[in-house]
Chain A
């Protein structure tokens, strides 16, 4: 997905003089050709994430459309107040493109992981959150974001589904049946495998914010299982709000809060958090029993 991000953003910089890119060393090498062509609009501030976001706010104040990029723990956790004040409070926007969300940087440890990025953005107003499940879903997200000035977060991951679903902006039903299981981004393939042979409806979205509340109301009979690749329960408030007044039972699956002091790869961590197919199946079967 990072390669797709680099290619699409490089093209946007060529096509649209309003586009700007602010980096804090991460991925700077990959954008070197773009920087040579557009030295005024491709900016690397060094290892300074507060400045990266402040600069984005300043660029936006002059009418440019800034994209910024780093590991999620640095772009969101570390520079949270800059997102809140240098963008939101200034009534400006930017496109924040992260890598290393939950446990992609498994060998790097907890310092390079941010399971709470989407939850943090949920405390702020006006953020659209994209969690692509396949690299072919990424270009449309980045290109759509170039056409307005709102605040957009694109969470790139290592884990991908086999197929792209470009129409995943709203809830898209992939399997019809009984209780609803919602898979966000890269959770789709494990959810499909986990629910094989179960009488459930599986719906996919790569845009959990704003959550497709209308779709959720239409598809919910009584039970809902939310499966998200970031902190478990991040969407609890959004789901509760969407289903207000409807009797329902809900389970939220996602990454646990407890720090897993192990390395390995993302599959190991998915298993540890119960987000691989067997883990998901056990939780879902138990919930629906």
Chain B
């Protein structure tokens, strides 16, 4: 029994403590395995390094349904598990969308869709300008979030400038009009892999290698509402 397995088992009870966010519950769980793999196996960030300038960055662009995000951060010790009991409460740092100002370890405040990728591009450029070339930046989006046009400004620019950024799109087929031809076709010039968003070992293999140009990982999960 590894420490990883012990932590994994604890995510279920932690998620159950988050009772306030009924509206977003299905989408919250769509991100669970990706988030766990990132924080457990990929990202160089701990509660002690949340302000280290060279820490790896994880930006949750899809701010909707943050229950899994909160559960993973709590399991990893970024904030006390007791915070999970009062989601959206007046005295709670945890809202239905995450706020970087109130939650340790949260890199950006999101909720309005289509902001994370642009911010992520800026983060990569800012890190590079300061010589933090080992630092990696990951942005997690939802497939419906790609409806927002602002994403496509960032997608095209990252491809044109060979920016080393990793975008993860959780595909639970929640976009109203869908993406005929597949999500990857909307990321021309990016390295692409499509993996089972529930298979942690495959997710790790997709997320761990460094890329010197933009990298897209489409994590496919069950259809929203199924």
A contact residues vs B (CB 8 Å cutoff): 20, 22, 40-41, 43, 45-46, 48, 50-51, 53-64, 66, 81-82, 85-86, 89-91
Contacts and interface: CB of A to CB of B under 8 A. Distances in A.
Given A61-B108, A63-B53, A90-B100, A20 B129 contact: yes
Contacts of B127: 62
Contacts of A55: 118-119, 121-122, 125
B153 interface: yes
Given A58-B125, A63-B126, A45 B157 contact: yes
A86 B132 CA distance: 22
A54 B157 contact: no
A62 B126 contact: yes
A50 B150 contact: yes
Given A63-B53, A81-B112, A51 B118 contact: yes
Interface string B63-101: 000000000000000000000000000000000000111
B157 A48 contact: yes
Contacts of B122: 22, 54-62, 66
A45 B153 contact: yes
A22 B100 CA distance: 24
B130 interface: yes
Given A48-B153, A60-B126, A90-B100, 15 more contacts: A40-B125, A41-B129, A43-B125, A46-B156, A46-B157, A51-B121, A51-B150, A54-B115, A58-B119, A61-B108, A63-B53, A64-B126, A81-B112, A86-B115, A86-B119
Given A82-B115, A90-B109, A58 B121 contact: yes
Given A63-B53, A64-B129, A91-B101, A58 B150 contact: no
B206 interface: no
A64 B130 contact: yes
Interface in B120-150: 120-130, 132, 149-150
Contacts of A89: 99, 109
8 contacts: A22-B122, A48-B156, A50-B118, A54-B121, A58-B124, A62-B53, A85-B115, A90-B108
Interface residues of B, number: 31
A45 B124 CA distance: 14
Contact of B107 (A43, A51, A61): A61
A51 B112 contact: no
A257 to B, nearest CB: 27
Find the residue from A22, A62, A86 having the highest chain B CB count within 10 A.
A62
Given A48-B157, A61-B126, A90-B109, A54 B150 contact: yes
Interface string B148-162: 011001101100100
Contacts of A61: 107-108, 119, 122-123, 126
A150 to B, nearest CB: 15
Contacts of A81: 112
A20 B156 CA distance: 21
Contact of B118 (A57, A63, A64, A66): A57
A43 B121 CA distance: 11
Given A55-B125, A58-B124, A86-B115, A63 B108 contact: no
List of 8 A-B pairs having minimum Cβ-Cβ separation, nearest first: A58-B122, A54-B118, A62-B126, A55-B122, A51-B153, A48-B153, A40-B129, A58-B123
Contacts of B118: 50-51, 53-55, 57-58, 82, 86
A192 B74 CA distance: 63
A51 B108 contact: no
Contacts of A51: 118, 121, 150, 153-154, 157
Contacts of B125: 20, 40, 43, 55, 58-59
**Which residue, of B99, B101, B130, B160, has the highest number of chain A Cβ atoms within 10 A?**
B130
A64 B122 CA distance: 10
Contacts of B115: 54, 82, 85-86
Contacts of B150: 50-51, 54, 82
Nearest to B122: A58
Nearest to B126: A62
A281 B130 CA distance: 54
